[in-house]
Structure formats: C-alpha cells, structure tokens
C-alpha cells in the first residue's frame, strides 16, 4: 500500500514546447484524414527544429465505392493538402519567431501508403473482426485527488500552463512566448495533498517586459497572480519554494532552442508518473491503434469506477496482439481501497464497452471523428467532454451501472 505521508512531483509542458508542437502537427494530420474518411489509417511522426517541419509515416484513405487506384489517388490528394493545415496549427500556437515561424519554416512531407501486411491484419473482413493495430499493453488510471479525478500534481501542472497560455493569447501578458514547462511538488498526508512544497515554472519570454529587462524576478512578479489562482486555498504557503526561469534567461526557445518529436511526452500526456504507462504514444495515430484507443478506454472505465465510489483509486491494464480483436488480458487494481472485488470488475467492465475489442471501443467512445488536435497539449485526460464528441472518454455515464456491482 502507498505510504500515508510522502512528497510527489509531476510536470507538464505547454503547447509551444517543441515536442508538443510535433504532437499538435501529427494530430492535425490525423484530424485531416479522419474528416475525409472516418475509417482512415494514420501513423504520422513529426520533427520540428530551427525553421523546419518534417513529416513521415504511413497513411491510407478511401472513398465509398472507389477502386484501388482511385483510393491511392485520394490518399495522395490528402497528403498534398496538409501543408496549409500544418502551418495554421503552428500559427495558432503562436510561433512567429525568427528561428521558427509558421509561414517561413521549410516544410517536407514524407508520408506514404500504409503497409499491406499491417492492413491485412487490422482490417475487418467477412471471416474476421477488426484486429488491434499493434501489440502492446495500455493503462488507465483515476483517483479522487481532484474534481477531474486526476493526480493533483499533474492537474495543477497542466492548469498553470493553460492559464499562462490564455494570458499570452489574449494579449494580457504579451511578453510571454509559446514555450514553457511547469513542475508541481506536493506534500501528502494520509494520502491527501496538503501543501505545495516546490513549484517550477520555466517560460519563454521576450527580452523585455514593457521597458524593463525581463529578469526572473520580474517574470515571477508578473505571472504570480495567475499561478496562485490555480491552486485551492491553503496549498500554496509561505514555505512554498518558487523556481521561475531558474537558468536566469529563456528567450530562445521552442523548436529553435531544442528539436521536437512526436510522442516524447507520454507521461505528461497521461498521469504524471502517478500510474503505470504502457510505453506507446497517442499523438499521430488513428483510433484503430490501441496505443491510443485502448488507453482512452482504460481511463474511461477507471474514471467511472472512481466516480461511482467503488474505490478512491483505480488502475486498469489491458493487452492486445496485432491483428487480434479480443484483448489478451484485462486487469483491475483498486489499491486495497475498493468497495468491490476487483475480479468482479474484471468480468463486468469489458462487457460495458462491447468486450473491449478495438472496433467496439471506437464505436462506444465515438472515436472516428476529427477530435485529436485538441488533445495534443495539457493532457489527454482530466478534460471536459466536448459537445462534438471530443474527450468522450472523460464521460461518467457508467456510474449507475457500476454502483449496482457494489
């Protein structure tokens, strides 16, 4: 069992962090293909560096009733249409810097058709169901530390950066630039967060705030009210140690300061280290890839377990083999705090989502929609479900069914 008193840390990165720029671009590609063909296949990797954007990977799209040659042409047409979408995504983040500019960065696209060997294992036919897009293990987690049923250290780390980004986009704090990182360390007593012991914020900035040089102390003074508004009363104390731009200067940043790649912030994307992770990234992958869809399903089920009051914490693991539709295993851990036998949940939970096959997960959560670019920053979990189906895995619509298991 977890020690009752301890100190724990999670970090987050902003939408302008180089790796998150890459994630945003890759998920923009996913949205473009799924908007054109809900059954499209996408595995897109992005590299961003000083004034360069490079895409690579495998894609496939088709039109109803079209032949093989027509579908190949359709896929090529979609690939050729991506550049303005990619540049618009970078512009939306806010990059108009000398070293990385949405309009001036060189663009190269090396996307090509999906492997026929992979396709034959994944696609449904008259003789078999749709198989998993890859082998692997996926995890889902929920806890009652925050109203979002997320680990507090990660949820606050995300929210700090969201507030700073909002102030930047609105013009309230024009000296802020897109690249930023946060880190929140909390002291826990009896398993509950009681105080922020350390707070780290590194935010890219202009050389000056108004007419004054942008020193770490001045950046801290400017952003402090926004940061303080994130935390519940009592968590920030006089003993909280603040580290704001601890290197002393953060003017050169983003892809100009450090290259970014898709899928390098998977702990930021999930649970901040408070729960296991299977190792697979989410961004750039269509929902036939269980790295993404099954991880969303596990979060959905774990969140509903906690929301139903069956446990204060819940971890779920699921595993698949490539080309096989039925999960190989399904495991529930209630961390010794459950109001129901975990084995009972292991039998009941998959049935609530159609047996947890890849196709059933996509149907239940409505994943064949262009809803992925919005997930690329500030976490895939702990978000509000959108009216158009975005973040559907954050719904708690299984609560009534699960309460009957207690």
Residues tagged active-site: 17, 19-20, 45, 58, 181, 250, 258-259, 264-265, 285, 289, 291
Closest CA to 291 of 111, 42, 53: 42
- To 5 degrees, how large is the angle CA 290–CA 180–CA 95? 90
CB 225 within 8 A of CB 268: no
CA–CA separation, 325 and 320 (whole Å): 8
Give the bridge partners for 259, in sequence order. Answer: none
CB 286 within 8 A of CB 302: no
Q: Is the dihedral of CA 139, 16, 55, 79 positive or negative?
A: positive
Strand locations in 148-302, DSSP E?
A: 176-189, 192-205, 208-209, 212-213, 241-244, 260-261
Q: Which two tokens stand for residue 291?
A: 């790295």
Q: Please, where are the H alpha helices in 203-323?
A: 216-228, 254-257, 266-269, 290-307
- Eight-state DSSP code of residue 202: E
CB 36 within 8 A of CB 57: no
Give the bridge partners for 317, in sequence order. Answer: 139, 331
CA–CA separation, 126 and 360 (whole Å): 17
CA–CA separation, 141 and 198 (whole Å): 25
- To 5 degrees, how large is the angle CA 221–CA 223–CA 224? 65
Q: Is the dihedral of CA 398, 399, 404, 406 positive or negative?
A: positive
Q: Given strand 41-49, what is the order of strands in its sheet?
A: 106-113, 52-60, 41-49, 260-261
Which residue matches tokens 């707070």? 199
Pairing status of strand 106-113 against strand 52-60: parallel
């Amino acid at each position: 069992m977890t020690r009752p008193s301890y100190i724990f840390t999670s970090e987050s990165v902003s939408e302008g962090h180089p790796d998150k720029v890459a994630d945003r671009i890759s998920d923009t590609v996913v949205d473009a293909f799924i908007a054109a063909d809900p059954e499209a296949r996408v595995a897109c990797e992005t590299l961003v560096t000083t004034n360069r954007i490079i895409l690579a990977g495998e894609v496939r799209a088709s039109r109803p009733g079209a032949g093989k040659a027509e579908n190949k042409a359709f896929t090529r047409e979609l690939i050729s249409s991506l550049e303005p979408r990619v540049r618009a995504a970078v512009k939306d983040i806010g990059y108009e810097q000398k070293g990385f500019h949405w309009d001036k960065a060189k663009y190269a696209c090396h996307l090509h058709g999906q492997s026929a060997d992979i396709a034959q294992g994944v696609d449904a036919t008259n003789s078999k169901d749709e198989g998993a897009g890859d082998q692997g293990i996926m995890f889902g987690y929920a806890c009652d530390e925050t109203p979002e049923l997320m680990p507090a250290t990660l949820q606050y780390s995300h929210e700090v950066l969201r507030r700073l980004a909002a102030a930047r986009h609105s013009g309230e704090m024009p000296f802020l630039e897109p690249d930023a990182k946060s880190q929140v360390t909390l002291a826990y007593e009896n398993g509950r967060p009681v105080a922020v012991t350390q707070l780290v914020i590194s935010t890219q900035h202009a050389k000056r705030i108004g007419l004054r040089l942008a020193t770490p102390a001045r950046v801290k003074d400017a952003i402090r009210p926004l940061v303080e508004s994130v935390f519940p009363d009592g968590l920030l104390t006089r003993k909280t140690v603040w580290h704001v731009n601890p290197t002393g200067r953060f003017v050169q940043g983003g892809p100009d300061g450090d290259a970014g790649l898709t899928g390098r912030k998977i702990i930021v994307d999930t649970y901040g280290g408070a729960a296991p992770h299977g190792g697979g990234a989410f961004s750039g992958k269509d929902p036939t890839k269980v790295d993404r869809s099954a991880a969303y399903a596990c979060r959905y089920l774990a969140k509903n377990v906690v929301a139903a009051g069956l446990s204060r914490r819940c971890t779920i693991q699921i595993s698949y083999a490539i080309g096989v539709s039925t999960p190989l295993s399904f495991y529930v851990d209630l961390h010794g705090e459950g109001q129901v036998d975990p084995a009972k949940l292991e039998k009941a939970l998959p049935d609530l989502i159609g047996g947890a096959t890849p196709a059933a997960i996509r149907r239940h959560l409505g994943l064949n929609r262009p809803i992925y670019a919005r997930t690329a920053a500030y976490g895939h979990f702990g978000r509000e479900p959108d009216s158009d189906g975005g973040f559907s895995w954050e719904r708690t619509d299984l609560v009534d069914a699960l309460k009957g298991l207690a």
